[in-house]
Every structure is written in C-alpha cells, then in structure tokens.
Structure 1
Amino acid sequence: MTTSSTCGDGSARDIRAVDIGHGAIGSGRSTRRRPDLRIAQFIAEALGGADNVLNVGAGAGSHESAAHTVTAVEPSGPPRARRPARLTRAIDAVAENLPFADGEFDGAMALFSVHQWRDPGAGLREIRRVTHGPVVVLTRAPDLVRDFWLYAYAPEVLDIEARRHPPVEDLAAALGGTGTIRTVPIPLDCTDGFDEAYYGRPEMLLDPAARQACSAWSFIDDEVRERFDGTLRSDLASGAWDQRFGHLRTQPTYDGSLVILRATH
C-alpha cells in the first residue's frame, strides 16, 4: 500500500444497521463518547459515497451517520443493547470471521475498534474479502500518542494506549492495495470524549466520568489516578499548566494521534 496525505469535506446521510465489539468500557462512555459531526464528515468523505457499508466493531452505532446504508457487526452484548432504536439490530460476529459473501459490500469502516480485536490483521483481511470498495479505519497512530500533554501527568495511560494500538503501517499492509493515511484534526469542542478531545480543556479530565469513557484508564491503579488528579489540580491552580500548554485553550483544532486509513483495491 502507498500512503499520502489528503484533505476535504464529507457529507452524511441516512442509515440501516449490523455490529462488532468494543468490550467492557467505563460507565461514562455513553454520555461522554458522543459522535462529533466534524469527524463524521472525514469518515463520510473517505467512504466516497459508498451505498452499502459494513461497520465492523460498530458498538452502539457511533458515527454511523457517516454512511448511507449500514450493516453493523458487534460481538459484545452491552454495546449491542445500547444501540438507538432508529438503528437495526447488530449482528453478533467477530471481525476475523464475517458471515458475508465475497465482495458483498460497497464499502466498510472500523471506527475506534481495531485495537480491541483479537487479531487485527486477520480481521482487516476478512473485511477486505467482503468489500469491493473502500475500507476506512479510524484509529490512533501509536507513535504519536505520547506527544499529548497528558503524558506529563499520567504517562502510564498513554503508554497503555500506545501499546494497544497496532502500527498504522501494519493495518495498511493487512488491507493491501493502495490508499492514504490522513491525520484527522480534533476540534476544540469535540464531543467524542477520548483523551485528546480535551486538549484545550484540561479541567474536563478531572471528572472521573470523562476518564472512565477512555478505556485505557481502566487498566491503571488508583495510585496513578490520585497522582494525576492531585498534580493536574495543583498545576491548574498555580498556572503551571497554562504556562506550558495554555496556547491550546484557543487553538481551533489539534493534530494529534487520530488518523483515518483509507484503502482501495
């Protein structure tokens, strides 16, 4: 696969659905991880107008508005149960063994889920098998995860994130063909509350519910959480955080580790 950078706007339309898994994540996810329409536009553009789209690791259906008609796959029961009534039921299946015919879909997407699969390479090869159009993967580039300011306060959290996410180049190799790897700018008021969504709103991460919505926080102990909370509170009160990172409070977007991989035959 070749890689390059591109840019542009996308569009969103109507929906149908089928799913694949996110597993158990903190209780704050449903309220803090709300789809951001600006990120959805990037996904829609990458899908290129594909009509019949497979969503693998679909969870509760976040960002499915980026596609026209969606078949969702999700192996975990709790996310399937959280799908809104407007979406059809998700299929209980895993990425590595999809119950579909070769080339059945015009396009496919995997959004914030590849790092949770048992075998990402096998899952992506299976998605390529059942898709004759573009495959779009929204993920995080592990080599960029530690560049975020959170690393100064809770390095354990971002070390976990970096280890969990497969290298984007490995994902591209599994899909084969040609494609692009593109950084997705994160808006200052991003509604999808993964950690970098709060790049200019550090106070938000003092809320345990906001942290629980980011699954990496579930892998650390209370000592790390308490140290993070105390240190960040102290630096916000003294102005130390703003001295180092205050420019982020008014920066419209942040180019962090969030990327879209788009692959075609």
Structure 2
Amino acid sequence: MATYDSLGTTYARTRQPDPRIAAQIRAALGTATDVINVGAGTGSYEPPQTTLSVEPSEVMIAQRPPGSAPAVQAVAEHLPLVDDAADAVMALLTVHHWSDLAAGIGELRRVARRRIVILTWDQEIFRERFWLVRDYLPEAAAFDDTRAIPTDQLADLLGGARQEPVPVPHDCLDGFGAAYWRRPRAYLDPQVRAGISMLAQNGEDTLAPGLTRLADDLATGRWHTRHAELLTLDTIDVGYRLLVSAP
C-alpha cells in the first residue's frame, strides 16, 4: 500500500525471514508446484516455487533480493492474473492493509487452484498476552483495533480454513510486531520500530511516553523482575495465526 513507500525503507534490514516460521509456511503450502505471493513486500518467506509476487509499493519491490521471483506492482483487490493462475496463493501479514478485505479474499480464491495460506494475528490474544502493547503502548493496540481482522471472519471469507498458532521464537530473525518479546531493549531502537507498522504508523510523539516508561523500567530492572517468567521461555504464542484454506 502507498504508506509503505515511506514506512518500508528499512524492511530489508529488519525483516529477514525466520527459518522456523518459514518451515511452518512451507508445510502449509503442501505440495503446491507454483505459488503467488500477494502483498509480497520484500519477498520474505517466498518458497523456491514462487512464480510471481504482487506488491503495491515500489519501495518494497526495490528491496527484493537478486534472484527473487518477478514482481508486479498491483493490489490484492485487483490481481492482474487469470482464474486458477497457481496451485497456491499466500498473503503474509498483509490483509490488515487492504482497502477492501472481501474483494481481496475473493481475488485470492479466484486465482488459487488448490490452497490459500494467510499469516495474520488474533487481536484479542495479542492485546492480552503481549506486554509491549498491554503495559506500555496501548496506543499501538488501539491503532491495531481499527485494522485487525478477526480470524474467524477471515476463515468465513475463505469458505473455511484451519487455524494454526505460529509461535514466536525468542531470537526471531523477522522483526515484526512481537518478534522482540524477550529482547525488550530492541523496541527503543527507531530502526526496529520503523519496520513494525503498528509502531511506525502511530508516530514518535504518540509512542514517546510509553517508550520512556519502558526505558526506565529496563534501567531500574523493573521490567526483568515483572517478566522474569518470559526469560525462561524459548517461544511464545501471542496470537499470530496461519490460516490454511483449500478452495
């Protein structure tokens, strides 16, 4: 979407694919011989059989690594593809950016012969379990309330889909929203925040009071005392979900 022409400039540095999440996505794609990636961004998690990527932002397309699948600048709601264009279509952390969700899902169903795989999150679980938005940045949670798509609604639009939890590793390589749940100091880094849309789209002035409280709690050790149990965990479920549909 257009905002990523300004928000997406750091994605190639902070949003590298995590191999454990990649393995779960590959398993969900099953035996698909060709895959189309919609809302592709810089191309994270594209399997070798990706034949085309669809992405609205020129800035994001320009950050795709050499050897990536060909990319076309277009939106999910109007895919420049024929019916049944590929075995599988995937859309990862993108549906919340679409201007017309029903139209976009309709397009995915039109072009996928066998399977649709969507990575998204359950906002209620995210709000409750993720300490950053619950304790420090409720403004970011409120922003996501306006755009998060209930997973049951997505499943209905897909004509039925199974939902798989996507655990976030403590050392996750992909710097999306909750990636640094056990590395709290990372959220004080402006470059890290620039790669997380729920933070970048709120603006620094909005986030400043909460980030100041976080910095103070880290300096005094209060954060580590309050969240000591997190430091013993290797992964956490904060609501990220993989929806897998068979059209």
- Partner Cα distance (1:217, 1:168) in 2: 22
- For 1:95, the equivalent position in structure 2 comes to 76
Between 181-190 and 239-248, report the one with greater CA deviation: 239-248
Change in CA separation of 1:182 and 1:22 when aligned onto 2, cut-off 3 Å: farther
Aligned to 1:213: 195
| In 1, Cα distance between equivalents of 2:18 and 2:194 | 19
Query: What residue in structure 2 maps to residue 123 of structure 1?
Result: 104
Question: For 1:121, what is the secondary structure of its paired residue?
Answer: helix
SS of structure 2 residue aligned to 1:63: coil
Secondary structure in structure 2 of the residue aligned to 1:259: strand
Moved over 4 A (4+): none
Structure 2: 5+ residue stretches without partners: none
TM-score (norm 2): 0.92
The equivalent residue for 1:10 is none
1:171 is the counterpart of 2:171: no
Determine which of 137, 147, 159 is the counterpart of 2:142: 159
Distance between the aligned counterparts of 2:143 and 2:167, measured in 1?
22
Partners of 1:22 and 1:257 in 2: CA distance: 25
SS in 2 for 1:132: strand
8 Å contact kept, 1:55–1:108: yes
- 2:246 maps to 1:246: no
Are 2:39 and 1:28 aligned?
Answer: no
**Which of residues 115, 121, 137 is equivalent to 1:140?**
121
CA RMSD across the alignment:
1.7
Q: Specify whether residues 213 and 69 from structure 1 end up closer, same or farther in structure 2 by C-alpha distance, changes over 3 A only.
A: closer
Q: Deviations over 1:145-190 (max 9, x none)?
A: 21210120111012212322211111111111x3201110111100
Partner SS for 1:86: coil
Question: How many angstroms apart in 2 are the aligned matches of 1:260 and 1:21?
Answer: 25
* Structure 1, gaps ≥5 residues long: 1-19
C-alpha deviation, 1:109, in angstroms: 0.2
SS at match of 2:86: coil
SS at match of 1:143: helix
| Counterpart for residue 80 of structure 1 | 61
Is contact 2:51-2:70 (8 Å) kept?
A: no
Q: Provide the residue aligned with 2:214 in structure 1.
A: 232
**Preserved CA contact (<8 Å) 1:201 1:249:** no
Equivalent AA in structure 1 for residue 62 of structure 2: A
1:81 Cα deviation after fit: 1.2
* Counterpart code for 1:153: Y
* Shift in alpha-carbon separation, 1:131–1:96, aligned structure 2, 3 A: same
Residues 177-227 of structure 1: CA deviation (Å, up to 9, x unaligned): x32011101111001111211111111111111111111222324333321
Aligned residue pair count: 244
Per the alignment, in what secondary structure is the counterpart of residue 102 of structure 2? helix
